[in-house]
Amino acid sequence: MDARRFANAQGLVMKGPRRIYDAFYSSAGMLFAQRLGLFRPYHDTVFQRFCNHELEIDDLAEIAGVISTIGGSAGDFEAYVHGPARAEHDRIIYEAEALGVFGVPTMVFNGELFWGGDRIDMLIERIKHPETIAIALGSRHRK
């Protein structure tokens, strides 16, 4: 299902971005929300509001507001942003790039990269039958 059909199925209106965004605050918000066990409400809120041009993902106060809305502490989030968030964010990006991640969604399972929504079925199959990785990767397979 393409993004527009998915969005329409979710009752969203997909609007193109108005400008180039620095997504650090929204990414830090995702990391913070994960720690609180609030990933899904954070993701759904940010996705819907951003796609409807109701959220500026590079505005600290707006992302802190989302954190507060889903049950987290805006103050704790802002302290995280001004503290360890940048180092954690940059480490995750560096590790992803080192693995060969270059797009969304990208999944890595046992060293094998699965890129794109159309690869999810392949990933599920590999999880069910991990022994097939040697056939898939050939000489690139490392034990």
Both 61 and 93 in one domain: the answer is yes
Which residue did the predictor score with more confidence, 91 or 14? 91
Both 75 and 132 in one domain: the answer is no
Contact 57, 21 (CB under 8 A): yes
Both 30 and 81 in one domain: the answer is yes
Contact 42, 33 (CB under 8 A): yes
Task: Return the pLDDT at 103.
Answer: 77
Both 117 and 72 in one domain: the answer is no
Both 22 and 49 in one domain: the answer is yes
Cβ neighbours for 137, distance < 8 A, ≥ 6 positions apart: 111, 112
**Cβ neighbours, 10 Å, residue 31:** 18
Nearest alpha-carbon partner for 66 in 47, 51, 92: 47
CATH of residue 69: 3.40.30.10
Both 71 and 110 in one domain: the answer is no
Both 16 and 71 in one domain: the answer is yes
Both 26 and 72 in one domain: the answer is yes
Both 95 and 111 in one domain: the answer is no
Both 113 and 93 in one domain: the answer is no
The structural domain count of the chain equals: 2
Both 55 and 123 in one domain: the answer is no
Both 90 and 111 in one domain: the answer is no
Q: Which pTM does this prediction carry? A: 0.71
Judge whether residue 10 has pLDDT over 60: no
Q: What percentage of residues in the chain have a pLDDT greater than 70? A: 83
Question: What domain range is 115 assigned to?
Answer: 106-140
